[in-house]
Amino acid sequence: MTAAGRRARPADPPGLSWDEANRLALVAELDVLRVRLVAYPGEPDRAELAAAEGRLASARALLDRPTALDGLAAALRLTGFERAVLLLATGPELAGEVADELTAAHGQPRPTFGLALAALPGAHWSALTPDAPLRRWDLVRLLDPDTPTGSPLVTEERVLHHLMGVRYLEPDLAAVARPVPPPAALPPAFAAVAATIRTVWEHGRPAVLQGPQPANLPVVAA
């Protein structure tokens, strides 16, 4: 994944589907991180970094809505550093060259928290903790829990598929779930609750459903 090899690649045609544009943006964002990590402990080559950032801007311009990574980062309130660590952990699966370059530069094919802390901007130690989003939601996993900063980082398969824009039902849930058609019309009490939830969400607030209750008490806005 050299800079020269990427510069020789012809421009991607306009009119891509969101799935295709999402994958292009994901790989382009990964390439910006790759430039920083491969150069560490030195500074990244400015021209190579600028070229990678330019490719990322071009890839994002093809999108008609946020990427899957954008949505995940916003939903789980990932910091920029946490977002970068998550993307790096998927790197060897997204592009085999990443594993090769990390091995050549740092002796192993997968990134570590220690390398990310040292090489990436905006790094913060709190991202490593078990109650921070990356580990709390099982977005990344330590192959060696005894050394949080030195352990290679991996992502779960479901996370990788989600970032690539592939949706599927969790296998354990799919084994016991069955589709149920929606009712033609909601009972009045349920319709009132649904309308309340919609109003609460439109104002950017969460809603808490309390139940089961005999009296079917209304939704309480948090």
pLDDT digits (tens, 9 = 90+) for 51-71: 999 999 999 999 999 999 999
Residue 176 lies in a domain: no
| CA pair distance 9, 161, nearest whole angstrom | 25
Same domain, 49 and 151: yes
Confidence of residue 212 (pLDDT cuts 50, 70, 90): low
| CA pair distance 122, 172, nearest whole angstrom | 37
Same domain, 46 and 103: yes
Query: What does the pLDDT read at residue 14?
Result: 57
Residue 153 lies in a domain: yes
Straight-line distance from the first to the last Cα atom of the chain, in angstroms, rounded to the nearest whole number: 48
- Indicate the average pLDDT of the chain: 85
Same domain, 115 and 211: no
Helix (H, G, I), strand (E, B) or coil at 192: helix
Same domain, 194 and 93: no
pLDDT digits (tens, 9 = 90+) for 153-190: 999 888 999 999 887 777 777 778 788 887 788 888 88
Confidence of residue 5 (pLDDT cuts 50, 70, 90): very low
Same domain, 96 and 195: no
Are the CB atoms for 108 and 98 separated by under 8 Å? no
Residue 117 lies in a domain: yes
| CA pair distance 143, 13, nearest whole angstrom | 39
- Hey, what are 205's tokens? 């607030």
Same domain, 157 and 193: no
Nearest to 151 by CA among 162, 140, 160, 165: 140
Residues 6+ apart with CB under 8 A from 80: 121, 122
Residue 61 lies in a domain: yes
When mean pLDDT is compared across 12-16, 26-30, 50-54, 218-222, the lowest value belongs to 218-222
Residue 136 lies in a domain: yes
Same domain, 11 and 68: yes
The beta-strand segments (E) located in the chain are: 141-142, 153-154, 207-208, 220-221
Residue 19 lies in a domain: yes
Query: What does the pLDDT read at residue 217?
Result: 52
The residue to which tokens 């929606």 are assigned: 182
Query: What does the pLDDT read at residue 84?
Result: 95
pLDDT digits (tens, 9 = 90+) for 85-136: 999 999 888 888 888 888 888 888 899 999 999 999 999 999 999 999 999 9
Tell me the percentage of the chain whose pLDDT exceeds 90. Answer: 54
Query: What does the pLDDT read at residue 12?
Result: 43
Query: What does the pLDDT read at residue 95?
Result: 83
Which structural domain range is residue 75 located in?
3-163
Q: Please tell me the total count of domains within the chain.
A: 2
Mean pLDDT confidence for 24-29: 94
Same domain, 7 and 84: yes
Same domain, 91 and 155: yes
Distances (CA, A) of 161 to 63, 97, 98, 164: 19, 19, 18, 5
- Omega cis (within 30) before 179: no
Whether pLDDT at 211 is above 70: no
Are the CB atoms for 20 and 59 separated by under 8 Å? no
Same domain, 156 and 197: no
Same domain, 22 and 112: yes
Same domain, 135 and 197: no
How many residues in total does the chain contain? Answer: 222
Residue 172 lies in a domain: no
Q: Which of 113, 147, 163 is the last residue of a domain?
A: 163
Whether pLDDT at 193 is above 90: no
Which residue did the predictor score with more confidence, 125 or 195?
125
Residue 217 lies in a domain: yes
